[in-house]
Amino acid sequence: MNFWTIVAGIILRNRYLVLLGIAIITGLLATQMKNIRFSHTEANLLPENHEANLEYNKFLEIFGEEGNLVILGIKDSTVFTPQKFNNWNRLVDQFDELEEIDFTLSIADVQELKADRNKRKFVLEPLYEDEPESSEEVLEIKKQLFEKLPFYDNLLFNKETGTLQTAIYINKKIINTPKRRNFIFDSLIPIVEKFEKENNVDVRISGMPYIRTLNAQNIQDEILLFVLGALVITAIIFFFFFRSFRATFITLLVVLIGVIWAFGFIGWFNYEITVLSALIPPLIIVIGVPNAVFLINKYQQEIKKHGNQAKSLQRVISKIGNATLMTNITTASGFATFVFVKSNLLREFGILASVNIISIFILALLIIPIIYSFMPHPKKKHLNHLERRWIENVVNWMEKMVREQRIAVYFTTVIFIVLSIIGVYKIRVSGSLIEDMPKSMGFYKDIKFFENEFGGIMPLEILIDTKKEKGVMKLSTLKKMDKINETIEAFPELSKPISVVNLVKYSKQAYYKGNPKYYQLPTRQEESYIFSYTKNTNSDAGLLNNFVDSTGRYARITTYMKDIGTDKMDVIQERLKAVVDKEFSSDKYEVSFTGKALVFIKGTNYLITNLVLSLSLAIFLIAIFMAWMFRSPQMILISLLPNILPLLITAGLMGFFDIPIKPSTILVFSIAFGISVDDTIHFLAKYRQELIANKWRIKPSVYAALRETGVSMFYTSIVLFFGFLTFTLSSFGGTIALGGLVSVTLLLAMVSNLLLLPSLLLTFEKKIANKKVFKEPKMKIIPPKDE
């Protein structure tokens, strides 16, 4: 009596105890769901000790959180009428009163820098004291702003288009907490919507806190969509194949318990819901249904063969249990390779996926036979699908191709390989923070608005360390910084930079009675006069603290990026680095580039480097499984080729259809490979069994394996295809691409395993058709045939 026969006996003899155990575990995991929380920070794809993270953390230590800015924009000529102009400024006053806000900056807050000759210092005076009551007064304020105050250009307005902008700085202490979400949904959005309605204008909102909040809410909303979509679509397809409400109900029960376990594990491990971990519950549904297909299909085949229910249930576990375990282990292995990537985001995804895949296997193996043991025999109509003519025609076509058209199969394979390699060379890399965001959503359109009007919303920071106190305010340092500013302004992908240089230029303009033509750095002769005024000026009177640290050693230059890809960012960085290397000697200065957008882009590049490692590890692990199960080096090569080919074709399709490599699509290859190998294991397990029965004759063994496993492989592949296709219901570009690419890859893998794999077995029959090469397997995946 083998191991799995003993397992079957234990499960079926202790049905009530097993069900009670499942109920208790499900209840305990359900209680852990209270710990589930949604991520309030951007996904950090880099290891904590990565250089980019260390530089970013150093920047945060000196200047604090940089992603706390929400911006409001309005492009409407009627805003320059007294009522709307005053209402626009009052709108900002409402936010100033809220405890979540540090401070705001709008036209009403504009302070004009002026030189007090008597006291030899600069003073700040409001641009206007009282609210304007006539159109002439508003237009005069507009003229003053647009023509005489270049310091505020691109900060509070775009003088070319007349667009106004208001900055709202959220308290840095709540920026990565649930309070940020409460502020956005309970205060910001209602106040702005009320203003729009009362004034009949369109207000644009953006900034990283706002985008992150709406993005997180979108993820939250889509989890339910994914779970319901996956359940409905897989249930419909399952019923279409089996034509049994009973079988469909049992399958849905298994995957629903699996979903509860999935959410429970997320809470138990204390992980946050991110754009990746949100995919786990629907992923478990999609992967869990094929387990049910194999188990229920086997049960119905046994019932049809001999009609003995107890014997059928025992054989479901003893015959299918081991093969299904191995297929789930290989699938889990594909996901588990992410554990070895140093990115916390991917590591958590890999742990959750692999744990839940093994869990859904255990649930299916326990629940399906036990529930069937309480039910009457399946009716004849429930077994008709086993003899369905169209499925038989599909299997006959596959057998004919393998028997008569192997050259055509190989020729087609070679053509696909060549075309795919061409496509691979066309693949581009994307490190954009917003490319995957829902393009139909209002906040994405607002992002594009601010890109066009003000040059972007994703901060890029340049940190300058002068290595000595008060080194920033030296004219030589300021001139070097100005060279960087000039380079930044040459890029249309970047906004106008803002730094202490702008303030010094504004000081010179103020020194020369506000004449805008003097908005420039002082000369050597002017330096002592202008800086003497600066020293006498109260530090609270300016924005200096935002751009220079308290010691005067560190300075920052802030610019904002448009939604650009990795390639463009690399070009920009190289140009900026060339200026830095030329102007800033390494012995006197240390200059680093940082900011959330740059960290994300570097994270994408890091993941791509690790993709090769992750996929190679997955292939290596599965090769070890093959070697352990079949103990034949030739079989390892023959089994891996049909599964690597679909990945190559998918990579080629990504190149031809301009689907970039990015954090979301990187997952495709490891996921698809881990799942597609399942078909190979089922086919080779049956093939090994047939070899023994047919006394090592390859041809009859291949055809018999093809006919018996072809139906289940076809069923499971169709379920997986449409299951992953539910991900295309998402509004996130990356999730759509992931769903579509995995679906296509798994369909290609099915065709490859049902045509290329048996063709290779027949072609190389002389090399593998003897007991010496194809030894007794380490594990009996399918026991010998019963009479």
Q: Please provide the DSSP assignment of 315-358 as one string.
A: HIIIIIHHHHHHHHHHHHHHHHGGGGSS-HHHHHHHHHHHHHHH
3-class DSSP state for residue 642? helix
Burial class (CB in 10 A: 0-12, 13-18, 19+), 424: middle
- State which of 302-311, 350-359, 657-666 shows the largest mean pLDDT: 350-359
Asked which of 134-148, 253-267, 440-454 is least confident by mean pLDDT, the reply is 440-454
pLDDT at residue number 589:
92
Residue 130 CB partners (closer than 8 Å, separation 6+)? none
CATH architecture, domain defined by 455-594: 2-Layer Sandwich (3.30)
Q: Which two tokens stand for residue 10?
A: 């234990």
Q: Where does the pLDDT of residue 326 fall: very low under 50, low under 70, confident under 90, or very high at 90 and above?
A: confident
Look at residue 771 and tell me whether its pLDDT is greater than 60. Answer: no
Q: pLDDT digits over 195-241, tens only?
A: 999 999 999 998 888 887 887 777 777 777 878 888 888 888 888 87
Rounded Cα distance between 524 and 522, Å, is 7
- Specify the range with the lowest mean pLDDT, choosing from 39-43, 413-417, 537-541: 537-541
Give the model's pLDDT for residue 592.
92
| Cα dihedral 261→267→268→272 (10° resolution) | 120
Do residues 62 and 550 touch, judged by C-beta distance below 8 A? no
| 8-state DSSP, 554 | E
User: In this structure, are residues 696 and 402 in contact, taking their beta carbons and an 8 Å threshold?
Assistant: no
Q: Encoding tokens for residue 489?
A: 């302004």
CA–CA gap between residue 498 and residue 381 (Å, rounded): 75
**154 three-class SS:** coil
Average pLDDT over the chain reads: 82
Q: What is the structure's pLDDT at 383?
A: 63
Phi, psi angle pair for 307, to nearest 5°: 75, 0
- Helix, strand, coil percent content, the chain, rounded in steps of 5: 70, 10, 25
- Please report, rounded to a whole number, the percentage of residues in the chain having pLDDT higher than 90: 18
163-170 and 157-158 beta bridge pairing: antiparallel
pLDDT for 747 beyond 70:
yes
- Nearest 5°: the CA angle 725, 730, 735 is 75
Note the pLDDT of residue 349: 86
Is the pLDDT at 676 greater than 50? The verdict is yes
- 605-618 b/e (C-beta count within 10 Å ≥ 16 → b): bbbbebbeebbebb
Q: Stretch 7-21: mean pLDDT, rounded?
A: 89
- Summarised one tens digit per residue, pLDDT across range 428-454 is 877 666 777 777 777 788 888 888 888
Joined tokens for residue 753: 């395993």
Mean pLDDT of 627-639: 73
Residue type, 651: A
**In sequence order, what are the residues at sequence separation of 6 or more whose Cβ sits closer than 8 angstroms to the Cβ of residue 286?**
230, 234, 719, 720, 723, 724, 726
Residue 784, Cβ neighbours under 10 Å: how many? 9
Amino acid in the structure at residue 64: G
- CA 755 to centroid of chain Cα atoms: 34
What residues does 592 pair with on adjacent strands? 463
pLDDT at 768: 57
Mean pLDDT across 97-112: 85
Q: In the prediction, which pLDDT does 787 show?
A: 40
Amino acid at 112: E
In order, the DSSP letters of 208-229 are: HHHHHHHHHHHHHHHHHHHHHH
Classify residue 528 as exposed, middle or buried by CB count within 10 Å of its CB (0-12, 13-18, 19+).
Answer: exposed
Residue 415 confidence (pLDDT) above 80: yes
Nearest-angstrom CA–CA distance, 605 and 434: 16
17: confidence class by pLDDT, cuts 50, 70, 90? very high
Which own/partner pairs from 474-481 qualify as long-range (CB within 8 Å, at least 24 positions apart)? 475/521, 475/522, 475/524, 475/527, 477/555, 477/589, 478/504, 478/521, 479/521, 480/583, 480/584, 480/589, 481/555, 481/557
* CB within 8 Å of 480: residues ≥ 6 apart: 583, 584, 589
Stretch 304-330: mean pLDDT: 80
Q: How many CA atoms lie within 13 A of 739 on its CB side?
A: 23
Q: Is the Cβ–Cβ distance between 706 and 402 less than 8 Å?
A: yes
How confident is the model over 648-664, as pLDDT tens digits? 998 898 899 888 877 66
pLDDT for 554 = 93
Please check whether residue 88 is in contact with residue 72, taking contact to mean a CB–CB distance below 8 angstroms. no
Q: Give the separation between CA 683 and CA 295, rounded to whole angstroms.
A: 15
CB–CB of 293/716 below 8 Å?
yes
Q: How confident is the model at residue 354 (pLDDT cuts 50, 70, 90)?
A: very high
For residues 401-415, average pLDDT:
89
What confidence score (pLDDT) does residue 623 get?
79
The predicted pLDDT at position 767 comes to 61
**Per-residue CA distances from 185 to 74, 214, 611 (Å):** 20, 9, 38
Q: Which residue has the tokens 């202790």?
A: 14
Beta bridge partners of 157: 153, 164
C-alpha 145/C-alpha 164 separation (Å) is 11
Q: What is the pLDDT of residues 459-485, one digit of tens each?
A: 889 999 999 988 888 999 999 999 999
Single out the residue of 499, 635, 623 nearest to residue 555, CA to CA.
499
Higher pLDDT, 635 or 167: 167
| Backbone phi and psi for residue 432, each to the nearest 5 degrees, phi listed first | -80, 140
Whether residue 671 contacts residue 335, with contact meaning beta carbons closer than 8 Å, is answered with: yes
Asked if residue 111 has pLDDT above 90, the reply is: no
Query: How far is the C-alpha of 367 from the C-alpha of 26, rounded, in Å?
Result: 13
Whether 539 has a pLDDT exceeding 70, the answer reads no
* pLDDT at position 541 over 60: no
Q: Is 432 helix (H, G, I), strand (E, B) or coil?
A: coil
Q: What average pLDDT does the segment 333-338 reach? A: 79
> Exposure pattern of 304-322 as b/e (b: 16+ CB <10 Å)?
beeeebeebbbbbbbbbbb
Sign of the torsion formed by the C-alpha atoms of 50, 334, 612 and 460: negative
What number is the average pLDDT over the span 181-189?
90
For the question of whether the overall pTM of this predicted structure is more than 0.85, the answer is: no
% of the chain surpassing 70 pLDDT: 91
pLDDT of res. 388: 65
How many angstroms from the chain centroid is the CA of residue 69? Answer: 23
Q: Which residues contact 658 (CB under 8 A, 6 or more apart)?
A: 426, 428
Is the pLDDT score of 132 beyond 60?
Answer: yes
**What CATH code is assigned to 3-41+213-425+600-768?**
1.20.1640.10
Q: In 377-494, at which residue ranges do the beta strands (DSSP E only) sit? A: 458-465
- pLDDT value, residue 28: 95
Copy the structure tokens of residue 700.
Answer: 């009859």
The predicted pLDDT at position 390 comes to 72
- φ/ψ of residue 101, rounded to 5: -105, 130
CA distance 504 to 480: 13
The pLDDT, as a whole number, for residue 362 is 93
pLDDT exceeds 60 at position 779: no
Residues 721 and 742 sit within 8 Å (Cβ to Cβ)? no
Domain boundaries, the chain: 3-41+213-425+600-768, 68-206, 455-594
